[in-house]
Amino acid sequence: MKNILKPALTGILILALIICGCSSSSSPSDTAENIESEGTKEVVQRADDGRTVVGISMPDRLLERWNRDGAYLRKQFESADCEVMLKYANNLIDTQIADIREMIAGGADLLVITAVDGAALSTVLEEAASLGIKVIAYDRLIMGTDAVDYYVSFDNYMVGVLQAEYVISTLELKLTAKPRYIEFVTGDPVDNNARYFYQGAMDTLKPYLDNGKLEVPSSQTEFYETSTAQWSTDIAQQRFQIILSSYYPVGTRLDAVLCANDSTALGAARALQSDYKGKNKVIVTGQDGDIANIYNILDGVQSMTVYKHLEQESVVTVALGKDIISGNTPGEDLISKSHWDFDCSYDTQQYNNGNRVVPSYLLSPIAITSDNIEKELFETGIYKRNSSGLIYTGE
């Protein structure tokens, strides 16, 4: 079978054939094939060494979660006799594209990708698709391309709903006559998830923003003006310090900061500690359950987080990946035949990437507060205490 490749990619493939040589189990997509490059007569041999290679491209090492995701995915794919190429892109789009090209050249049969920028991968993924390589968008949807086969994530809209519901119940918005004051710290605009978190929160809070029980003294309620590039703690902290110094002089009250995730929550909490003049405890929401934020919840500095069980996300991804590699076209049947002891739903409507609705496997996030943190995170063994403090085991 002949494939048409762009010349640049062909060069990489030749290099890869020289440097790769390990083997494990075989896969249908590892069959021998000649590759003819467009515009030249050069013909090279694509890797045919019986290996099953999974390329995993993660966005960055800064956040605890991507390190955990990468480790879970690697371990499980390796236990299934796959060879794994795992790379972290340092939050740089060009690095991620180069990483993916290296994986294609290294003989990847399957790509599992958490995009740095959901809209920047179309070209490289079309190169993958032209070689029959399947793509799973992991946690973040990849936008604007047909070359994404599946999406595995949590119900991202629900994450925002859980954060907003916590604010509504803690501030007793259904009962209160007095207005309460809130500000928003949302996520990275190039991460498609950030909009879902925002929309879930805003739709849930809208009745109270409309009837005046919730006010936003900065007036910053739109997604872009509240967003945080790269989900950076420092950027969130700087923006929030400016909000506090501009809109919260002595005598003004702030009740809640709805932060989209834990890295932004850390920034908001630091700004509150340094620059908030009021004496009341301000609600701070989050998402992920990072160690620093778990300490903050136990210490009363952060009010809640939304926990997403990453091992479950990787279990679904690996089951899906194995099914794809063995030549199947998984659908809802993956869930029934897998007998997982957690909920997972199959969705073929919600996640439209602009080109197509991507079939999705979605898990359920849970809200964690000081009331249920022991039961949900410690009694389950996800976190443990030892003499040096908290450790994450994730089991």
Find the shortest distance in angstroms from Cβ 63 to ligand BGC: 5
**CA pair distance 281, 289, nearest whole angstrom:** 20
Report long-range pairs for 95-101 (Cβ below 8 Å, ≥24 apart): 96/57, 96/59, 96/120, 96/121, 97/121, 97/123, 97/124, 99/55, 99/57, 100/55, 100/57, 100/124, 100/125, 100/128, 101/9, 101/12, 101/127
Find the shortest distance in angstroms from Cβ 197 to ligand BGC: 8
At position 51, the amino acid (one-letter code) is R
Does residue 139 interact with ligand BGC by CB under 6 A?
yes
Residue 252 DSSP symbol? -
Q: What part of residues 158-197 is at the interface with ligand BGC (CB under 6 A)?
A: 191, 193
Helix (H, G, I), strand (E, B) or coil at 369: strand
Q: How far is CA 135 from CA 75, 115, 184, in A?
A: 19, 12, 34
Does residue 287 interact with ligand BGC by CB under 6 A?
yes
Q: Cα dihedral angle (18, 20, 22, 27), rounded to 10 degrees?
A: -110
User: According to CB under 6 A, which one of 65, 74, 195, 239 is a site residue for ligand BGC?
Assistant: 65
Minimal CB distance residue for ligand BGC: 261
Find the shortest distance in angstroms from Cβ 140 to ligand BGC: 5
Q: Count residues binding ligand BGC (CB under 6 A).
A: 10
User: According to CB under 6 A, which one of 69, 288, 313, 323 is a site residue for ligand BGC?
Assistant: 288
Q: Which residues of 64-88 are buried (b: 16+ CB within 10 A; e: fewer)?
A: bbbebbbebbbebbeebebbbbbbb
Residue of 195, 252, 255 lying closest to 226 (CA atoms): 195
Find the shortest distance in angstroms from Cβ 285 to ligand BGC: 12
Find the shortest distance in angstroms from Cβ 259 to ligand BGC: 10
User: According to CB under 6 A, which one of 63, 136, 158, 325 is a site residue for ligand BGC?
Assistant: 63
Find the shortest distance in angstroms from Cβ 255 to ligand BGC: 24
Between 166 and 276, CB nearer to ligand BGC: 166
At position 205, the amino acid (one-letter code) is L
Q: What part of residues 92-111 is at the interface with ligand BGC (CB under 6 A)?
A: none
**CA pair distance 199, 195, nearest whole angstrom:** 6
Q: What is the largest CA-CA distance in the chain?
A: 77
Find the shortest distance in angstroms from Cβ 58 to ligand BGC: 10
Between 5 and 162, CB nearer to ligand BGC: 162
Between 63 and 316, CB nearer to ligand BGC: 63
**CA pair distance 301, 311, nearest whole angstrom:** 27
Cβ atoms of 313 and 69 within 8 Å: the answer is yes
Cβ atoms of 335 and 380 within 8 Å: the answer is no
Does residue 155 interact with ligand BGC by CB under 6 A?
no
Does residue 69 interact with ligand BGC by CB under 6 A?
no
Q: What part of residues 220-259 is at the interface with ligand BGC (CB under 6 A)?
A: 231
Find the shortest distance in angstroms from Cβ 210 to ligand BGC: 28
Between 109 and 188, CB nearer to ligand BGC: 188
Between 197 and 276, CB nearer to ligand BGC: 197
User: According to CB under 6 A, which one of 68, 140, 180, 195 is a site residue for ligand BGC?
Assistant: 140
Residues forming the site for ligand BGC (CB under 6 A): 63, 65, 139-140, 191, 193, 231, 261, 287-288
